[in-house]
Amino acid sequence: MIVSFERNATIAERLFTVIVENGVKWAEDGWGGFATSETAIYLTPKLGKSQAAESMVSLIEFGQRLQAEGVKGANLIVVEFPSWGAFFQSFVSSHVAVSIF
Report the pLDDT value the prediction gives residue 94, as an integer from 0 to 100: 63
> pTM value?
0.85
Q: Domain coordinates of the chain in residue numbers?
A: 2-95
- As a whole number of angstroms, the distance between CA 15 and CA 3 comes to 9
- As a whole number of angstroms, the distance between CA 36 and CA 2 comes to 12
Per-residue pLDDT at 18 exceeds 90: yes
Report the pLDDT value the prediction gives residue 76, as an integer from 0 to 100: 96
Q: Give the pLDDT mean for 38-52.
A: 93
Per-residue pLDDT at 97 exceeds 90: no
Report the pLDDT value the prediction gives residue 88, as an integer from 0 to 100: 80
